[in-house]
């Protein structure tokens, strides 16, 4: 998805020019600033909405089927149907859900275009302005997802349905399962000197002092210096319950009472924090924080790698098993409690022990790719996904499942997911068709000639 911003701009201009000079709709409306192109259930769809959504699609390289000036209005109309149902179902979406969705989308798009500066150039807006622009759409998409979840919550696939579905597929339509692996990992966090820890604490004390004296806004310091993903929001975490924080953080955050004062320094598994209260609502709190991690020196990292090498040697000599080594030496709570077994939660509805190589952390994938079953990797340095800290690790390849045509024996969960997805899609398509019948729809005459995905929009 790494496409230069110039390509996006050229593509957008090309589509716009095509619309203006070859589409009769535009030719007849040169002097119209905006116009209503559809009305769905009393809600208008404006031409400007179509243009705006097209620009978003181009920036994210989203797949569109056919003419965008047919595809996009229909998608907007479908959204209107779901939003109407959301009112009937009393669906609610929290501000925090919206913030998280926008941040995720922003990071993905920045990764695709290459930099935040290129994204700002493309939209002609600052990142904050882009986020403001995206928030209403993020709220809409979360709402729609919740409505869809309600509609398909009872849909599942039995083993017999899975077998029957795939027995009827032509051989060339059966999915190919890429190579997958099952792995165990032993993680050791390098020791950090007392001097480095004191340096981090000193910086945080300085930040707290500047905020308490009114010299600097907490959010400004968080944006500039915090090592947590929330730095993009000025350190704001959104309203959360006590159980959503690690205990050390929660104890301090929920005891804050003065939004103008900064907390004492808090140590957690993620590093060192200072916290500022924004607002309390019942048993939930919204606060900002600044997180800084002490950085191990090269010699401390080297010492951790040497230690892991010694542990690896002991395992190879059968002086202890990999599982025992994890229990005795691992500093990572999640994998230590699972005997070192890595769990893949990227598959969506369920967690599995299997990973495609590109689903593993890059350093793990690189270390494991050439191993045989039962072999250990050499010690390596990696960035822990959860804490964003530098850690050292060794991995053991438990099992390699070579790429193969799917079968219901080895790949039942993957195939079950495919069948359930097909069943859910059928339910949602039927729901949309039924909803069309009971919803008022009016389409501008000049926009009726499209080959729509759902035929019930234009009522005879």
- Block mean pLDDT (10 aa), the chain, length 460: 33 35 37 78 90 78 76 93 93 85 83 82 86 90 94 93 91 90 96 96 97 95 91 88 92 94 94 95 92 95 96 96 96 91 69 86 92 96 85 96 89 88 95 93 87 84
The pLDDT value given to residue 151? 95
DSSP string, 105-171: HHHHHHHHHS-HHHHHHHHTS-HHHHHHHHHHHHHHHHHHHHHHHHHHTT----HHHHHHHHHSS-G
Please list the alpha-helical segments (H only) found in 3-42: 5-22, 24-27
CA distance 294 to 61: 39
- Domain co-membership, 253 together with 316: no
Burial of 381 (0-12, 13-18, 19+ CB in 10 A): middle
Q: φ, ψ for residue 256 (rounded to 5)?
A: -75, 145
- Which of 223, 257, 292 terminates a domain? The answer is 292
| Token pair belonging to 9 | 């701009």
The pLDDT value given to residue 69? 87
The structural domain count of the chain equals 3
For residue 287, the cross-strand partners are 277
- Does the residue 455 lie in any domain? no
- Domain co-membership, 330 together with 227: no
The pLDDT value given to residue 209? 96
CA distance 262 to 127: 27
- Which of 292, 315, 341 terminates a domain? The answer is 292
- Domain co-membership, 89 together with 56: yes
CA nearest to 79, candidates 51, 55, 49, 59: 49
Here the CATH number for the domain that contains residue 273 is 3.10.50.40
The pLDDT value given to residue 61? 63
Q: Does the global pTM surpass 0.75?
A: no
The pLDDT value given to residue 259? 93
- Domain co-membership, 232 together with 369: no
For residue 36, the cross-strand partners are 46
- Domain co-membership, 111 together with 229: no
Q: What is the DSSP letter of 262?
A: B
- Which of 258, 292, 326 terminates a domain? The answer is 292
- CB contact set of 421 (below 8 Å; sequence gap of 6+): none
- Domain co-membership, 142 together with 185: no
Residue 218, domain extent: 194-292
The pLDDT value given to residue 103? 81
| Token pair belonging to 278 | 């924004």
CA distance 236 to 229: 10
Here the CATH number for the domain that contains residue 97 is 1.10.4030
Q: What angle do CA 348, 352, 358 make, to 5 degrees?
A: 75
The pLDDT value given to residue 30? 42
CA distance 93 to 103: 16
- Domain co-membership, 187 together with 323: yes
Report long-range pairs for 229-232 (Cβ below 8 Å, ≥24 apart).
229/103, 230/288, 230/289, 232/103, 232/106, 232/127
- Domain co-membership, 186 together with 209: no
What are 163-208's pLDDT values in tens digits?
A: 999 888 898 888 898 999 999 999 999 999 999 999 999 999 999 9
What are 365-389's pLDDT values in tens digits?
A: 999 999 999 999 999 999 887 777 8
């Amino acid at each position: 998805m790494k496409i230069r911003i110039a390509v996006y701009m050229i593509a957008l201009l090309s589509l716009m020019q095509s619309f203006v000079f070859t589409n009769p709709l535009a030719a007849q409306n040169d002097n119209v600033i905006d116009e209503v192109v559809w009305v769905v259930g009393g809600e208008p769809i404006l031409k400007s909405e179509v243009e705006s959504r097209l620009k978003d699609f181009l920036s994210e390289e989203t797949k569109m089927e056919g003419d965008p000036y047919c595809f996009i209005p229909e998608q907007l109309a479908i959204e209107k149907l779901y939003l109407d149902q959301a009112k009937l179902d009393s669906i609610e979406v929290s501000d925090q859900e919206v913030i998280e969705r926008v941040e995720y989308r922003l990071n993905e798009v920045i990764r695709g275009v290459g930099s935040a500066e290129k994204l700002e150039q493309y939209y002609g807006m600052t990142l904050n302005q882009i986020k403001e622009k995206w928030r209403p759409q993020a709220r809409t998409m979360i709402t729609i997802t919740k409505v869809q979840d309600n509609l398909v919550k009872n849909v599942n696939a039995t083993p017999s349905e899975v077998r029957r579905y795939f027995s009827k597929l032509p051989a060339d339509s059966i999915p190919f399962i890429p190579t997958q692996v099952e792995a165990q990992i032993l993680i050791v966090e390098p020791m950090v000197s007392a001097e480095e820890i004191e340096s981090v604490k000193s910086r945080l004390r300085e930040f707290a002092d500047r905020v308490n004296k009114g010299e600097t806004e907490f959010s400004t310091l968080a944006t500039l210096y915090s090592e947590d993903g929330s730095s993009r929001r000025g350190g704001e975490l959104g309203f959360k319950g006590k159980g959503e924080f690690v205990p050390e953080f929660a104890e301090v955050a929920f005891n804050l009472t003065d939004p103008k004062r900064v907390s004492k320094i808090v140590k957690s598994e993620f590093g060192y924090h200072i916290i500022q209260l924004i607002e309390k609502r019942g048993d939930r709190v919204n606060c900002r924080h600044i997180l800084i991690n002490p950085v191990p020196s090269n010699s401390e990292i080297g010492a951790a790698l040497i230690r892991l090498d010694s542990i690896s040697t002991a395992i190879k000599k059968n002086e202890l098993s990999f599982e025992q080594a994890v229990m005795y030496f691992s500093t990572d709570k999640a994998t230590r409690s699972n005997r070192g077994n890595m769990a893949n939660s990227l598959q969506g509805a369920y967690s599995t022990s299997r990973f495609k190589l590109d689903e593993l952390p890059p350093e793990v994938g690189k270390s494991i790719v050439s191993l045989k079953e039962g072999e250990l990797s050499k010690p390596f340095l990696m960035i822990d996904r959860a804490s964003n800290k530098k850690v050292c690790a060794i991995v053991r390849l438990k099992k390699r499942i070579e790429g193969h045509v799917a079968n219901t024996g080895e790949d039942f969960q993957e195939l079950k997911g495919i069948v359930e997805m097909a069943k859910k899609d059928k339910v949602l398509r039927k729901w949309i068709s039924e909803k069309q019948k009971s919803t008022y729809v009016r389409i501008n005459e000049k926009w009726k000639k499209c080959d729509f995905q759902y035929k019930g929009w234009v009522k005879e």
